[in-house]
Chains A and B, each alone.
Chain A
Amino acid sequence: MERGHVIPMNPVDPDAVLTVRNMKTEFALRTHTLKAVDDVSFTLKRGKTLCIVGESGSGKSVTARSILRIVPEPGKITGGDVILHREDGDVALHEMGDRSPEIRAIRGADIAMIFQEPMSSLSPVHTIGFQIEESLILHTNLDQKARRARVVELLRRVEIPDPERTADRYPFEYSGGMRQRAMIAMALACNPKVLIADEPTTALDVTTQAEILDLIQELQDEYGMAVMFITHDMGVVAEIADEVAVMYRGQHVESGTVEDIFANPREDYTKMLIGSAVRLEEPSPIKIAMQAKQAAQTGQEPILEVRGLVKQFAAKRTMLGKLVAEGVRAVNDVSFDLMPSETLGVVGESGSGKTTLGRCIMRMHEPTSGQILYRGRGTDTEITGLDKKGLRDLYADIRMIFQDPYASLNPRMTVEQLIGEPLRNRKLGTPAENRDRVADLLVRVGLKPEHMERYPHAFSGGQRQRIGIARALAPNPKLIIADEATSALDVSLRSQILDLLLEFQESFNLSFIFISHDISTVRYFCDRVAVMYRGEVVEIGNAREVCDNPTHAYTKALLSAVPRPDPTRRRIADRHRYVAKDADLLSNGASA
């Protein structure tokens, strides 16, 4: 097997495994050349973790791909040295062709990589076992039996249950966390010296994220590999990094040990990143001020009363009666009150029923049973009893903000049409009045009236989310259901958007139901919080109390799995773990 051209150069640091010097990667776009990676240097050391941190578009993923020379078209590596230090000497990766056998012998063997999206990063039509075995076929001389044994061993090592059988399963039969474990097993197949992990936990729930971070840490201790961990989450950085490199617009702005970076950040950008993350650890100052004011008002009636809400999704059967999908009780006997200008956070992991709850209140899903009483219009309105026309009227009062700022705006409508749509639908004013209203809303969400004529593609993610907020505010609603409204945004934008929502809450007396998997945004933004687990609210109470002193075991597990942006107080390694009792499972399944 070709192993690359060996150059005589001794590493400066005996622990150095990979040295990157002055790396440059450019994308030739139609209008200009984008310097995705601009003069970046760093060293990966045996047994140490380097976190590359930065927001979307900072070039951190391209940096990783440039090392392995798998930059997607039209990217081109235009300069720099990448040197792998091996026992048999140094190997210059930057001298190898993108498709040369030499670089292919390094990929997957000396340097392995895992990716963000564990579903789409695995081939849907090949078994997990085969996809791991492929690395062994490429880089080892093991025979078929030995390869199979190694695959089973690897899967067992990453804690996949019953690996002899599950090796022959397909990715769609694995859960998200298991898929990422399988990806890690694949990366470890040939005992790499360097593991590059590109946002490997971003698509996972916090508890699953904590497990995967634990696993990577353990494997690193065991095999002594260098880990390059790419993330946008300062909490994760604080939890796992030894060293940190901060990237911004393709440039390497600052690096140092994790303690140094968090204690004494030099660059404004680093300060901003840490500041935004730390800020979300505490309730917003605006919120605290509002709560003080509200404490004076007593004897108010709730604007929304939910009692015994149940949503049962029916089991799916084929024509011949074969069960295709089990019935699920997505929302199980949920009750709560929401006061005027109060924010109720709904937290939970994927599949906990939080989104279904929001949709049931809007009647986008038809609730199976229960009452939803809305008091926002002087008279009491029972939402479950409304007809189509009644619902249309209701939609002026209760509005939604969605997660994905790209998918939730029709790309063929101008900003004016988008924001004005709820006004037009409700025939709420003359075109000229509505135009003024849209202009006013645009100013309020921090955009300009002249943006009205533009289409969504002309705006960044954060700006689009502002357009979505303006659209929700257009008909002067009283209650807004925000479903993961800040999850798709970079951390610096996240607090900005939350502050914007708080301002509106103060000036318009808005109530919010804020659905999120992100506990820190809930602490920052909400008055009260309901924790959902398998369709049930396991705990509800004052946001601060629940976040600081949770009583239910699940809440404890959930909160202790959240990475804290403080490297001196790492917590996920000794977190609480919550294992649902079989009785819980049964009660959930039996009611189906």
Chain B
Amino acid sequence: MLRYIARRILLMIPTLILISFVTFIVVQLPPGDYLNAYVAQLTAEGGETVDRQQIEMLRERYGLNDPFIIQYWKWISNIIFEGDFGRSFEWNAPVSDLLWGRIGLTFVVSLASLLFVYCVAFPIGVYSAIRKYSLGDYVFTFFGFLGLAVPNFLLALVLMVISLQVFGVTPGGLFSPEYAGAPWSFAKLMDFLAHLWIPMIIIGTASTAALIRVMRANLLDELNKPYVETARAKGQSEAVLIMRYPVRIALNPFVSRLGWELPALVSGAAITSIVLNLPTAGPILLTALQSQDMFLAGSFILILSVLTVIGTLVSDILLAWLDPRIRYS
């Protein structure tokens, strides 16, 4: 088991190198660079003409004229050796200052959604499979498809209205205005939790609906397997044997989904965050991409990718722990 984990971690290294490279290419891909975008913006706003020489000087200073591979190396070596993600052109601040708070919140929101997804999808999926074609199964199926079909932003708007009309909580954001800039305290935590449920539900709904279907289908496949009959013939009670045997095996795809559920939640979070005005990574990533603020955008994407790779690793380790057939081969 330890060797398995060690091998998986070793294999992560080439994956991460590739990801960082591709990230940098993608961020560089649009024609021009931040300065072009900046000049265009200035010209559009005030009709000012910008001094060509000054632009060239800036370009030289930021190393924007260097060949691609050297730019990449400067960027990645600073990250690895000095933990320096570079400076954001647009915010004129170190990327790391902008990043950490937002990445942290993004992950709290995503993890809360993930927890919500699994806690809701697991029991409903099991119920729907065992009581196939019952009234309850049909009801859950109906809501499941509804959850899949309704776009996140629409759900966000609806919940915002409900939140304001029914609960009187100001919708949008993750904190009430009085706590937004305040240091962490118990009161701020409670306020945060009161705001958390809306994005949690919105981001999680589609995944929940999908996972219910996955769990139901997996379990239906397993319920008629001969080993279930063996357990029954042993005299085991129905509740125990279903949880111990078919559910345990049906969990495999449920767990392996974890790996790609994470990036889906993070990207889902971007749209929702913009609608709900959450101080998470989504909105800032969008503006960074629009203005070609390459270090900021690149670092964001890189960190999210690393987290995704880690998510995949966690799900693989969980799988190996659950299923001896994977562990031993």
User: What is A's interface to B at a CB cutoff of 8 Å?
Assistant: 68, 70, 72, 99, 101, 104-109, 112-113, 115-117, 120-126, 131, 134-135, 138-139, 170, 172-173, 183, 186, 320, 324
A134 touches B226 (CB 8 A): no
Looking across the interface, which residue of chain A has its beta carbon closest to that of B249? A125
Give A143 Cβ to nearest chain B Cβ, in Å. Answer: 19
* B74 CB within 8 Å of chain A: no
| A139 in contact with B235 given A70-B229, A125-B322, A170-B328 (CB within 8 Å) | yes
A115 touches B229 (CB 8 A): yes
Q: Which residues of B contact A122 (CB under 8 A)?
A: 227, 230
Q: Which residues of A contact B227 (CB under 8 A)?
A: 120-124
Q: Which residues of A contact B233 (CB under 8 A)?
A: 68, 70, 107-108, 112-113
B328 touches A115 (CB 8 A): no
A173 touches B328 (CB 8 A): yes
**In the complex the two chains form, what is the Cα distance from A483 to B236 in whole Å?**
41
Q: Which residues of A contact B230 (CB under 8 A)?
A: 113, 115, 121-123, 131, 183, 186
Looking across the interface, which residue of chain A has its beta carbon closest to that of B327? A170
Encode B141-164 as 1/0 by CB contact (under 8 A) with A. Answer: 000000000000000000000000
Q: Which residues of A contact B225 (CB under 8 A)?
A: 120
* B237 CB within 8 Å of chain A: yes
Looking across the interface, which residue of chain A has its beta carbon closest to that of B326? A125
| A121 in contact with B235 given A170-B328, A173-B328, A320-B7 (CB within 8 Å) | no
Partner of A172, one of B226, B231, B325: B325
**In the complex the two chains form, what is the Cα distance from A121 to B236 in whole Å?**
15
Partner of B234, one of A108, A120, A172: A108
**In the complex the two chains form, what is the Cα distance from A173 to B327 in whole Å?**
12
Interface set, chain B 242-261, CB cutoff 8 A to A: 244-245, 248-249
Give A40 Cβ to nearest chain B Cβ, in Å. Answer: 19
B234 touches A134 (CB 8 A): yes
* A107-B233, A115-B229, A124-B249 given; 18 more Cβ-contact pairs under 8 Å: A70-B229, A99-B237, A107-B235, A109-B235, A112-B233, A117-B226, A121-B227, A121-B229, A121-B230, A124-B324, A124-B325, A125-B248, A131-B230, A138-B235, A138-B236, A170-B325, A172-B328, A186-B230
**In the complex the two chains form, what is the Cα distance from A72 to B226 in whole Å?**
11
* B323 CB within 8 Å of chain A: yes
Encode B107-132 as 1/0 by CB contact (under 8 A) with A. Answer: 00000000000000000000000000
30 contacts between A and B (CB under 8 A): A68-B233, A70-B232, A70-B233, A104-B235, A107-B232, A107-B233, A107-B234, A108-B235, A108-B236, A109-B235, A113-B233, A121-B227, A121-B229, A121-B230, A123-B245, A124-B227, A124-B324, A124-B325, A125-B324, A126-B244, A126-B245, A134-B236, A135-B234, A135-B235, A138-B234, A138-B236, A170-B325, A170-B328, A172-B324, A320-B7
> Which of B7, B238, B322, B325 gathers the greatest number of chain A CB atoms within 10 Å?
B325
Give B14 Cβ to nearest chain A Cβ, in Å. Answer: 10
| A105 in contact with B229 given A124-B325, A320-B7 (CB within 8 Å) | no
| A134 in contact with B231 given A99-B238, A104-B236, A104-B237 (CB within 8 Å) | yes
Give B7 Cβ to nearest chain A Cβ, in Å. Answer: 7
A115 touches B235 (CB 8 A): no
Main SS of chain B's interface residues?
helix
**In the complex the two chains form, what is the Cα distance from A113 to B226 in whole Å?**
12
Give A315 Cβ to nearest chain B Cβ, in Å. Answer: 15
| A121 in contact with B234 given A173-B328, A320-B7, A324-B329 (CB within 8 Å) | no
* B53 CB within 8 Å of chain A: no
> Which of A72, A120, A125 gathers the greatest number of chain B CB atoms within 10 Å?
A125
**In the complex the two chains form, what is the Cα distance from A112 to B230 in whole Å?**
10
Looking across the interface, which residue of chain A has its beta carbon closest to that of B324? A170
* B49 CB within 8 Å of chain A: no
Q: Which residues of A contact B322 (CB under 8 A)?
A: 125
* B185 CB within 8 Å of chain A: no
* B224 CB within 8 Å of chain A: yes
Q: Which residues of B contact A120 (CB under 8 A)?
A: 225-227
Encode B7-51 as 1/0 by CB contact (under 8 A) with A. Answer: 100000000000000000000000000000000000000000000
Q: How many residues of B contact A (CB 8 A)?
A: 25
User: What is B's interface to A at a CB cutoff of 8 Å?
Assistant: 7, 224-227, 229-238, 244-245, 248-249, 322-325, 328-329
**In the complex the two chains form, what is the Cα distance from A585 to B133 in whole Å?**
55
Q: Which residues of B contact A109 (CB under 8 A)?
A: 235
Q: Which residues of B contact A116 (CB under 8 A)?
A: 226
Q: Which residues of B contact A99 (CB under 8 A)?
A: 237-238
**In the complex the two chains form, what is the Cα distance from A113 to B230 in whole Å?**
8
Looking across the interface, which residue of chain A has its beta carbon closest to that of B234? A108
| A186 in contact with B234 given A117-B226, A120-B227 (CB within 8 Å) | yes
Give B253 Cβ to nearest chain A Cβ, in Å. Answer: 14
Partner of A72, one of B224, B249, B324: B224
Give A458 Cβ to nearest chain B Cβ, in Å. Answer: 24
Q: Which residues of B contact A105 (CB under 8 A)?
A: 235
**In the complex the two chains form, what is the Cα distance from A125 to B323 in whole Å?**
6
Give A99 Cβ to nearest chain B Cβ, in Å. Answer: 6
Give B327 Cβ to nearest chain A Cβ, in Å. Answer: 9
Give B249 Cβ to nearest chain A Cβ, in Å. Answer: 6
Looking across the interface, which residue of chain B has its beta carbon closest to that of A115? B226
Q: Which residues of B contact A138 (CB under 8 A)?
A: 234-236
Looking across the interface, which residue of chain A has its beta carbon closest to that of B132? A73
Give A13 Cβ to nearest chain B Cβ, in Å. Answer: 26
Give A303 Cβ to nearest chain B Cβ, in Å. Answer: 44
Partner of A123, one of B224, B232, B249: B249
Looking across the interface, which residue of chain B has its beta carbon closest to that of A196? B233
Q: Which residues of B contact A134 (CB under 8 A)?
A: 231, 234, 236
Give A373 Cβ to nearest chain B Cβ, in Å. Answer: 41
Q: Which residues of A contact B325 (CB under 8 A)?
A: 124-125, 170, 172
B7 touches A106 (CB 8 A): no
Q: Which residues of A contact B229 (CB under 8 A)?
A: 70, 72, 115, 121
Q: Which residues of B contact A106 (CB under 8 A)?
A: 235
**In the complex the two chains form, what is the Cα distance from A106 to B230 in whole Å?**
14
**In the complex the two chains form, what is the Cα distance from A565 to B238 in whole Å?**
41
**In the complex the two chains form, what is the Cα distance from A64 to B318 in whole Å?**
39
Q: Which residues of B contact A113 (CB under 8 A)?
A: 230, 233
Give B18 Cβ to nearest chain A Cβ, in Å. Answer: 15
Q: Which residues of A contact B226 (CB under 8 A)?
A: 115-117, 120-121
**In the complex the two chains form, what is the Cα distance from A186 to B227 in whole Å?**
13
**In the complex the two chains form, what is the Cα distance from A437 to B114 in whole Å?**
61
**In the complex the two chains form, what is the Cα distance from A172 to B234 in whole Å?**
21
Q: Which residues of B contact A108 (CB under 8 A)?
A: 233-236
**In the complex the two chains form, what is the Cα distance from A147 to B166 in whole Å?**
59
Give B13 Cβ to nearest chain A Cβ, in Å. Answer: 13
Looking across the interface, which residue of chain B has its beta carbon closest to that of A105? B235
Give A48 Cβ to nearest chain B Cβ, in Å. Answer: 21
> Which of B226, B230, B329 gathers the greatest number of chain A CB atoms within 10 Å?
B230
Give B305 Cβ to nearest chain A Cβ, in Å. Answer: 22
Q: Which residues of A contact B232 (CB under 8 A)?
A: 70, 107
Q: Which residues of A contact B236 (CB under 8 A)?
A: 104, 108, 134, 138
**In the complex the two chains form, what is the Cα distance from A139 to B248 in whole Å?**
23
Q: Which residues of A contact B231 (CB under 8 A)?
A: 123, 134
Q: Which residues of A contact B235 (CB under 8 A)?
A: 104-109, 135, 138-139
Looking across the interface, which residue of chain B has its beta carbon closest to that of A119? B226
**In the complex the two chains form, what is the Cα distance from A414 to B130 in whole Å?**
36
Looking across the interface, which residue of chain B has its beta carbon closest to that of A101? B237
Q: Which residues of A contact B249 (CB under 8 A)?
A: 123-125
**In the complex the two chains form, what is the Cα distance from A85 to B284 in whole Å?**
77
Give A299 Cβ to nearest chain B Cβ, in Å. Answer: 56
**In the complex the two chains form, what is the Cα distance from A106 to B323 in whole Å?**
31
Give A391 Cβ to nearest chain B Cβ, in Å. Answer: 34
Looking across the interface, which residue of chain B has its beta carbon closest to that of A189? B234
Give A135 Cβ to nearest chain B Cβ, in Å. Answer: 5
Looking across the interface, which residue of chain A has its beta carbon closest to that of B225? A120
Looking across the interface, which residue of chain B has its beta carbon closest to that of A325? B329
Give B214 Cβ to nearest chain A Cβ, in Å. Answer: 18
Q: Which residues of A contact B244 (CB under 8 A)?
A: 126
Give A104 Cβ to nearest chain B Cβ, in Å. Answer: 4
